[in-house]
Every structure is written in structure tokens, then in C-alpha cells.
Structure 1
């Protein structure tokens, strides 16, 4: 047994780390004063709150510091199969990264994973601990709205909604597929947006299913409008314009922002201006007590499939550092036996330095 400091989602705590039957288990029991202490601190796998798994090689996630991703726009049948495959491997008891550092991901062909049916087949599954997948399913967008005209949008990844009945049907479809949220496109820079009444109808339909609405708000006034109409999260921190302090305060009390700051860091003068605008908005939103969630829009251009150091740097530029940065990353609870445990050099260390904790880390102290 070893004493260890760990992050519980809100702050740092002390607990006891044990190696039991080849598995490292963390509890929040109070360690004895003479118990040897792990060098460094422990966190669970981090969360990327905005990804598009159909646009990347998702197998690369298995070697990353991410423990959970939330897909915000995909064919619901395909993304549900991805989520089921990850859930299946976890239930089947496949060895975690902490147990099998030498394991290599099984190759995928970008089609659905074939899920073995028998318990004996499940027990023989040999893959690294999976990254949990949550999803919104398809974008809900007006007829002709974003991203219906985009070549990158996979087949079946959006639903064009013309009336409240269609909104009810689309929300029900996503909920039945296993969605944990509903994604609504409100991009006035790229086509039509929903009327206030139809947007509210989607929010009401989602609320009846217990699902929050995550809105892609782009264009003058759209971030303010969707927040007023009941969106629970913005898929992108507002970048079209500088929000007034009063609006920042209003949103800080009711809406969470998913960061996606680094997608604006392209190097052109316009992109630099946009980046400065969004970082300023996030800085004031965070200072006002607003909830900022780490998200990268993974799949939007050549983004890393894993933790994105550019996004971390941009968040720090916005004044989100230390414990606040870890909260934005929403790591899994390391006391959960399904979590992969990661080791950081210290409580103020860059999250990009997280490395899987191995039994060798304990043996080195024996």
C-alpha cells in the first residue's frame, strides 16, 4: 500500500493506493502517517467535451490521456456502435492501460465494431482500456442549415427540421439511440437558423427526455439568443463578437461553454483577431464564475486525437489554470475501478504531462 494524493473532480485529496491481483486500486481511506507515499499525484482520464469521431482515427484515443469523449455530431447509428463497443470492452474486463502498457489497439476499418456475444468471447477480449464515448447523435438544423451543405458531414449526421413535429421525432430518435445530449446548429454565418419558437420546441422535446441542448452558435447575436432560448451548453465559446459584460454575467449563471479555442489559431490576421476575441470572452466568463469545459472540436482540421496542448495553452491564456483547468478537463474519478489512473509530477503540473500509472511506479518505491 502507498499513500497517494489524487484529484476527486473538485480538489486534491489523500487516499491509499493498493496493488491487488495485478490491478491498482485507489480508495479515499486516510493513509497512516508512516505509509510510503507515491511520488507525484493521481488523476483519472480527462474529458474532451467536443469531438467528431467519424472524422478521426478513433483507435488513437486508446493511447491518450483521455478517459471520455462527447461526440457532438455524427450518424447516430455509427456513433452508438462506437459507444457500445467501448462500453462492451469495459464490462468484459479487458485489461486497463495501468495493467497492460505493452498492449496495442486492435485495428479498425472505420466500420462498426463487431461485438462478441458470448461470455467466453468477452473474457478473451484483449484491448487497452477503452475511452468512454457519449454522444449527441445527428445535428438538428433548419432545412438548408449548417452543416447540411458541408462535404465533411458524414452521411446521416444531420436532420433538417422544418416543424415542431419533426423536432419531436428527431429528438426521440437521438434519445432512443442512446444520446446524452442534443446538438442544435444555429450558424447564421452559414445559412438559416431556427426561429425562436422552433428552437424552444427542440429544447422542450429534449427536456422531456432529460437531455440538455448543446448549441453551435455562430453569427452576430446567436450565442446570446440560444442561451436565452434554453441551450444548456455552447458547443464553442462565443467567438463571433465580444460579448458585453452584462451578457457574460447572465450566461455565467445559466450556460456552460465548451472551449474549442485552438481551432481559431490559424495564423492569419482575421484568425488572430477571432482568437483574441474568444479568449477575452472566456477570460471574463470564467472570472464571472461561468463553467468552462475543455473541448477541442476534434476532427475540425488536423487536431490531435488525444489531449490537445494548444487548447490547454489557450485556456491558460484565458486565466484558467491549476485546479480550475483540471475541473475544465473533468477527469474521471480515479476511485472508480473502471478508470485508468494517470500520474502527474505535482498538483500544479501541466495536464499534458499525465502518464499512465503502472505497477512499476509502486515497485520502484518498495
Structure 2
């Protein structure tokens, strides 16, 4: 039998956590909401093992929109996507070895009239027609040109007319401010290339901006900046989403314990860590009838939660018998 106090479990892992049993195998463990990695690139990874290693859903933040549109809607992971990066002519990630031409659209005209070659509406409409749930823009001034404020504003307006949020890759001096001025919905990485002051972080929180973590892809001063920026943002009430930029670097697919440990160290702990994993963004609610299952006893303390979550797997919800007391 599982050694678990349901009240202690909820204190460590949040109100939706409960002891349970897999009906087919009889295995006892802890049941949690389904987990999403909010930043992946499916064309760079082998996705078949995601579910067995705890990830039910992913958000592809830069891929071939036609290939993504052709994906089956059945099975796992459940995929939401942005389609292609919208970027300035010659901007990131154009020309990168990992970035085939199909994953970028170069915006050369701020026009919001459909069909204009290189126009904003043309690019946004293409991603929407291919089933995008979010539009992604590139604001990487560290390595090339970026969308000017007028064009960026046109992308935001055009996307919102179509009911789509806008997420940005922000890198380089002044790019977080540009994202804030444009009132972008989400940052695809915690800001790592510049220190943010309290006023900037307060603006991000007031806008309701979400930040996708991706802390563990960095090292050195970039890692330090990202962790401190995220810790300040989270303490101020900012919404944090678990994301790993999976496909970037040689890492096994599935739950990334180093990312969880970095979030924990930045103060996103226990129930807040589960919230970052289980947030259905960009959907309003989870669309898959599965749960996260971690076999065996629950973690003994908050410090144990990141490593313990490394044992998570995805299980059909109707296979779980919850042991509520």
C-alpha cells in the first residue's frame, strides 16, 4: 500500500494531487494533472518517448507550419504550435544550421492587408490557416535585425484580430522593453541577456505576461540573469510556464529534472511548480483525457519534488482509481 497522507500530498503538490492506483497493473502512486512542455521544436527531437517520460502535451514554438498542419490529431503528445517564426529580413533564425527555410517567414512589409508579399497579414494568416494556436515573433537583436516597433505592433494587432496570442523570442539589449511596449502575451524564454529592473518586471506582471522558463539551457552569467529575473517575476505574481526548448542540445526527451531543479531554486516550488507544468496554455483548458502518474510514495519534502517528478509517466485518466480520504 502507498504510504501517503492526502492532506500532506496536497500541501507539497497542490490541490489536484491525490494518491491513486493504476487499475490494470494495481500499481500505487500519485496522480497529478497532465503536464505540458511549453517550448519544444518537434523537427529536432524524437517525440515517441515523451508520454512515457511524463509529457502529455507540447507547444512547438518554431516549425514548418505545413508539416505541423498535417500531423495526426490522435495520440500523444498533444501538440499546439506557432507555425513558423515571424522575423525581420535576415533575422533570427534565418540561416541557422538547425533552422530549415520552412520554419521562418521574413516580414518585409507592415501591411495588415491579406495577400501582400512579405506582409504581416499574409504571414499571420498562413500560420492561422495551418492551425496555429499562437503566433511567434523573433526579437533577437544579439545576432541580427529585428522587427521594428511599427511592424511588431501590426503583428500583434493582426494576431489578436484572429484570437491568437503572441509569443516572442527576446534576446539582446532593449528587446524585453520592446516586447513590453508591444504588450506581447508570452516570452518564449525567461529574459537571459539583460538584467531587468523592478519597473520592467512590474510592467510584465501588470500585462498578465507569461514567461516560459528554459533556465537549464543556459550557463554562466546568462543562467544567473535568467534565474534572478524569473525569481523576481514569480515573487511579484508573474505566471511561469514550464518549458525546456527541447530539441536544443542533446538531451533525452521527457521531463527535464534539471529544468525543474532550476525552477525550484528560483522559488517556483511545490504547488507552483506543478502549476507551471500543468498550465494548458495556449489552450483554455486541457484537451486530453490523461493524467500524470508517479509510481511509489510521494516526496518527503519540497526539496525532493524535482527529482521525484523525474519518474512521471502519462496514463489514461480512466485507468486511474483515485484513493481519496
Within 5 Å, which residues of 2 pair with 1:177-188? Answer: 177-188=130-141
Q: Which runs of 5+ in 2 are unaligned?
A: 112-118
**1:278 corresponds to:** 226
Q: Which runs of structure 2 are paired with 1:1-366 in the superposition (5 Å)? A: 11-13=14-16, 40-82=29-71, 85=72, 87-89=73-75, 130-165=76-111, 166-254=119-207, 255-265=209-219, 272-330=220-278, 338-343=289-294, 345-346=297-298, 348=302, 349-350=305-306, 351-355=309-313
Secondary structure, aligned partner of 1:281: helix
- Return closer, same or farther for 1:195/1:360 CA change in 2, 3 Å cut-off: closer
> Is 1:298–1:305's contact at 8 Å kept on the other side of the alignment?
yes
CA distance in 1, matches of 2:22, 2:285: 14
Q: Tell me the CA shift for residue 17 of structure 1.
A: 6.6
- Contact kept, 8 Å, 1:4 with 1:15, in 2: the verdict is no
The answer to whether the 8 Å contact 1:136/1:183 transfers is yes
**Number of equivalenced pairs:** 296
C-alpha separation in 1, matches of 2:124 and 2:278: 26
Counterparts of 2:319 and 2:156, CA distance in 1: 50
Stretches of structure 1 that go unaligned for 5 or more consecutive residues are 25-37, 90-129, 266-271
Alpha-carbon contact 1:215-1:226 (below 8 Å) kept: yes
Mapped contact 2:68–2:130 kept (Cα < 8 A):
no
The answer as to whether partners of 1:44 and 1:334 remain within 8 angstroms in 2 is no
Separation (CA, whole Å) in 1 of partners of 2:273 and 2:237: 13
Q: Offset at 1:19?
A: 7.8
What is the alpha-carbon distance in structure 2 between the residues aligned to residue 331 and residue 293 of structure 1? 7
RMSD, aligned CA: 3.2
Report the Cα distance in structure 2 between the residues aligned to 1:239 and 1:73, rounded to whole angstroms.
19
Give the number of the structure with larger relative contact order, counting CA–CA contacts within 8 Å between residues 6 or more apart. 2
Deviation of the 1:252 alpha carbon:
1.6
